[in-house]
Amino acid sequence: MKVGIVGAGMVGSSAAFAMVMRGGASRIVLVDLDEKRARAEAEDIGHAVPFGAAVRVDAGGYDDLRGCGVVVLACGVGQKPGETRLQLLGRNAAVFRSVVGEVMRVCPEAILLVASNPVDIMGQITQRLSGLPAGRVIGSGTILDTARFRWLLGRHLGIAPRSVHGYVLGEHGDSEVLAWSAARAGNVSVGSFAAQMGAPITDEVRARIDTGVRRAAYTIIEGKGATWYGIGAGLARIVAAIAADEGAVLTVSVASEVLGVRDVACSLPRVVGAEGVVAELVPELDDSETEALRASAEMLKRTVEAVGM
C-alpha cells in the first residue's frame, strides 16, 4: 500500500521510520511545506530500508500522493512548553483548510489518518472538510495514551505490555479516561493479576500510573521539546492494520455518538481494517469512568462547536 505523509516534522518522519522498520507500506511519500526538509528526511529514512522492510521512500508534492491508500496528516505547528493541546487548535485549523483540500483533490479514495494536535478536534475538522464518511477519517486519538498505560502497567506487573489490555478513552488530552475497571492482564483483571504477582495496585501505584499516563507529554516536552517516537510507532501500527485488513482493536478517534453525545470525535476501542474503522465498542466501565468519558466527549463537542465547523 502506498502511504502519503503530509508534514515531515518529527511526528511524520518518525511514523515513516517506524513504517520502514515494521513494514505495512510499499511506498511512502513525504510532503512538507519545507521541501528541503522532506527531501532530507526521505533520504535519511531511506538509508534504513536495507535494515528494514522493502519500502520505497520519496519526498514529493501533493500530485505525488495519487494512488495512496492512506494519507497521514502530521503537518502543523508543534505544542509549545506549557501550551495545552486545545490552545494549538486555532493555529492548526488554518493549516488544515488548505492541506485537506489538496489531499482530496489528488486522492479522494484514501483513508485519512490525522496526527496533528489537538487530534480529536483536528480529526473532526478533517472529516468535515473532506466530506468523507466518519470511519475513513481516523485520528490517532489515545493510541499513544493506551500504549503508555499498557507500558506502565506492564512494568509494574513485570510482564510484556502486549499482554496488558487496558484502554485510555475519550480525549487525547487532559480529560482522557483510564479505563481501570476494564483493564486485563492475560485474561484476568489487573487487580487480580497484580495480587497474584505480589505487586498489588495500591492507591499510590494507581495514582503514579495515572499521572504517568496523563502527564507523559508534558514531562517529555519539558525534557526534549516534543514527543515523537511513541506516536510515530502508533501511526505505523494503524497503517499496518489498514494495509493488512487486520481487524485490529485500537483506541482511535472517529466522529460518532458517544454516551449520548452526538457527532463527536474521541477515542473508543475500534476495529480497524482496510475500510478504516468498521466497528466500535464501549468497554464495561464503572459509573465514575462512564461519567468521565461523557464529560470528556461533552468538552470536545463544545470545543468543536466553538470552532464553528
Q: Which residues are catalytic?
A: 172
Bridge-partner residues for 254, per DSSP?
266
Residue whose C-beta lies closest to ligand ADP: 9
- The answer to the question of residue 173 lying near ligand ADP (CB under 6 A) is no
CB of 169 to ligand ADP, least distance (A): 23
Does 100 appear as a known binding residue?
no
Rounded to the nearest 10°, the torsion over CA 130, 118, 115, 280 is: -70
Cα(256)–Cα(272) distance, rounded to whole angstroms? 15
- The answer to the question of residue 6 lying near ligand ADP (CB under 6 A) is yes
- The answer to the question of residue 37 lying near ligand ADP (CB under 6 A) is yes
Does 307 appear as a known binding residue?
no
The shares of helix, strand and coil residues in the chain, as percent rounded to the nearest 5, are 50, 20, 30
Stretch near ligand ADP under the rule CB under 6 A, chosen from 46-54, 74-82, 181-189, 254-262 = 74-82
- The answer to the question of residue 41 lying near ligand ADP (CB under 6 A) is no
* Nearer to ligand ADP among residue 44 and residue 275 (C-beta): 44
- The answer to the question of residue 73 lying near ligand ADP (CB under 6 A) is no
- The answer to the question of residue 107 lying near ligand ADP (CB under 6 A) is no
- The answer to the question of residue 11 lying near ligand ADP (CB under 6 A) is yes
- The answer to the question of residue 88 lying near ligand ADP (CB under 6 A) is no
Does 276 appear as a known binding residue?
no
Among 10, 15, 183, 300, which residue sits at the site for ligand ADP (rule: CB under 6 A)? 10
CB of 131 to ligand ADP, least distance (A): 20
Directed axis angle between helix 287-307 and helix 119-130, to 10°?
A: 50
Cα(146)–Cα(160) distance, rounded to whole angstroms? 14
- The answer to the question of residue 25 lying near ligand ADP (CB under 6 A) is no
Among 70, 300, 33, 71, smallest CA distance to 171 is for 300
Does 210 appear as a known binding residue?
no
Rounded to the nearest 10°, the torsion over CA 78, 239, 56, 5 is: -30
- The answer to the question of residue 76 lying near ligand ADP (CB under 6 A) is yes
DSSP string spanning 83-133? --TGGGHHHHHHHHHHHHHHHHHH-TTSEEEE-SSSHHHHHHHHHHHH---
- Please confirm whether the linkage preceding 283 is cis (ω < 30° from 0): no
* Number of neighbouring beta carbons within 10 Å of residue 34: 12
* Nearer to ligand ADP among residue 99 and residue 182 (C-beta): 99
Site for ligand ADP in 217-246 (CB under 6 A): 226, 228
Cα(126)–Cα(212) distance, rounded to whole angstroms? 30
- The answer to the question of residue 9 lying near ligand ADP (CB under 6 A) is yes
Site residues for ligand ADP per CB under 6 A: 6-12, 32-34, 37, 74-76, 78, 95, 98-99, 226, 228
